[in-house]
Amino acid sequence: MSSSTLMTSTARTKNTVPEALVRYQDGIARYLRSIALPVGSLAGTMTAYHMGWIDRSGQTVSSAPGKFIRPSLCLWACEATGGDIENAMPVAAALEWTHNFTLVHDDIQDGDRMRRHRETVWAIWGQAQGINAGDALHALAIRTLTQAGPYPERQLHAARVIADATLATVEGQCLDLSLEGRPDTSLRSYLRVVRSKTGALLGASLETGAVMAGASAPTIARFSKAGRLLGLAFQIRDDWLGVWGDSTATGKSTDGDVNRRKLTYPIVAGYSIMTPEQRERLRALFTPDARDAGSRIRALLEEVGGSKVTESAAGHYAARAIAHVKASRIASARLREFVEVADYVAKRVR
């Protein structure tokens, strides 16, 4: 059975979070809270606020745990390759701390004042304190990774994987910022950014889960490749949501990426299929003095079918991710779970 057939045969609604992600959420949330910074400190308050556990005044809020995609993929990979998720939990938590540290810094760099339907950390406490909050989350990741465990060699291997992924993520963000305002950027350059910025940490999520299970080197490599491809699907879908998504579902404005002239898949792919006249119009809209640029860029992208092109690309990379997991010869039930995850990543609405 082909990867595309697998995706079609197990398609779920765009709003449905797959069981393979849902079943770990409560355990991850409890573990993260148990090792978090005390809210008596400002760093603890800011990080707890960012995680959605308290409001800006420090009062506990009642909310469902986040999707925890990266730590859930780590735990899923550990189970799928015959491991015990208790041994992988510190690594999964470190992945979540790392992911959130990059989000806090990303919000500052992009000037985003809203995330998850709430003001961002820097919007409340300022940019300097926002940087401190991100640094604290990164330190939490390191502290979590270096705690004693039953498989120290595996844990050290996982720590190196996450460190390498973090460096790749930072490099991807550097490239992303350097390419803002350049609609003529090649698809190859865009994919280089996304492989680093998003693919690296998702690749590390599947890879470290297999590492903590003691899986074979070929299986670890396949899971790593699958995660990186899933990262491409995830970011391309995220780019679609940044232009055509429902802001009430995503918690972020659909004008932010377009108004900031960010390098996104709809822009890069759209430019590649535009006529010379359309390309000239798009370049003009990317100049600082262009008026009503956001709505006009969106309209131009729609002229060339940018929405469908972007959706198709997300599905393509999700299918490739499935092929790598299938090649690892895991149990059929586990493969079906990953297919559901890949389908969700490529079609999610938030």
Condensed to tens digits (0 to 9), the pLDDT of residues 211-247 reads 999 999 999 999 999 999 999 999 999 999 999 988 7
Task: Split the chain (350 residues) into runs of 10 and give each run's mean pLDDT.
Answer: 44 71 95 97 97 95 82 98 98 98 96 92 98 98 96 98 98 93 94 97 98 98 98 97 82 67 92 97 91 90 97 98 98 98 95
Strand partners, 119: 114
DSSP class per residue in 303-329: HTTHHHHHHHHHHHHHHHHHHHHHHTT
Q: CA torsion angle for 177, 182, 185, 189 (degrees, to 10)?
A: 0
Picking from 97, 72, 77, the residue whose alpha carbon sits closest to that of residue 147 is 97
Q: What is the pLDDT of residue 254?
A: 59
Query: Could you give the C-alpha distances from 198 to 55, 170, 227, in angstroms and in order?
Result: 28, 10, 10
Measured from the Cβ of residue 125, the count of other Cβ atoms closer than 10 Å reads: 18
For residue 10, what pLDDT is reported? 43
| Rounded Cα distance, 192 and 309, in Å | 19
Terminal Cα-to-Cα distance of the chain (whole angstroms)? 30
Furthest-apart CA pair in the chain: how many Å? 63
Spell out the residues 6+ positions from residue 2 whose beta carbon is closer than 8 angstroms to its own.
none
Q: What are the extents of the domains in the chain?
A: 3-347
pLDDT at 117: 87
- Dihedral (Cα; 303, 307, 309, 310), 10-degree rounding: 140
How does pLDDT run across 5-49, given as a tens digit for each residue?
444 444 444 568 999 999 999 999 999 999 999 999 999 999 999
> Among 215, 199, 210, 206, which residue's Cα sits nearest to residue 165?
199
DSSP-H helix ranges across 61-179: 69-80, 85-110, 121-125, 127-145, 152-178
Would you state the structure tokens that stand for residue 122, as one six-digit string? 């820097």
CATH of segment(s) 3-347 = 1.10.600.10
Looking at residue 253, its pLDDT comes to: 59
The per-residue pLDDT for 233 is 98
The pLDDT assigned to 16 comes to: 87
Question: Cβ(338)–Cβ(322) under 8 Å?
Answer: yes
Question: Is the whole-model pTM more than 0.75?
Answer: yes
What was the pLDDT predicted at 12?
44
